[in-house]
Amino acid sequence: MKKHKMNYKGYFDGQCVECTACTTVCMHHLVHGQNRKKWSDKYDLVRPMCMKCHGFLHGKDGHEIDLKYKVIAQIQFEKEHPELSFLEVFGRLYL
């Protein structure tokens, strides 16, 4: 994934991975919560997402989309790091 230069608030111009809009985006941690963001950063499990999609994903109706990205994260992690256990690193499985 291409590394992006973010401003001091973590936003930059880019394309949202969910709606494909070219707008201001932030990096969404595919696996988040309980110290999981640091592992998402370490293993490059982040994607650019616009404020609208990111807000929806973290809202009360965004569970299915959030789960979709967690599954994507697990698949990517297991493909790129077969020597590691996703369960041991992130504490749960999504597949």
Return the number of other C-beta atoms located less than 10 Å from residue 83's C-beta.
4
Say if residue 58's pLDDT is above 60.
yes
| Nearest-angstrom CA–CA distance, 73 and 81 | 12
User: What's the CA gap between 26 and 46, in Å, rounded?
Assistant: 10
Asked whether residue 1 is assigned to any structural domain, the reply reads: no
Q: Is 82 part of a structural domain of the chain? A: yes
What pLDDT is recorded for position 17? 95
pLDDT at 9: 54
- Domain assignment present for 4: no
Residue 22 belongs to a domain: yes
pLDDT of residue 86: 97
Residue 2 belongs to some domain of the structure: no
Q: Given its phi and psi angles, is residue 5 left (phi above 0), alpha (psi -120 to 50 degrees) or beta?
A: beta
- Give counts: helices (H), strands (E), the chain: 4, 3
Enclosing domain of residue 16:
11-90
pTM: 0.84
Q: Is pLDDT at 7 greater than 50 in this prediction? A: no
Task: Tell whether 55 is covered by a domain.
Answer: yes
Q: Are 37 and 29 in contact (CB under 8 A)?
A: yes
Q: What is the tens place of the pLDDT at every residue in 8-40?
A: 456 788 999 999 999 999 999 999 987 899 999
Please tell me the total count of domains within the chain.
1
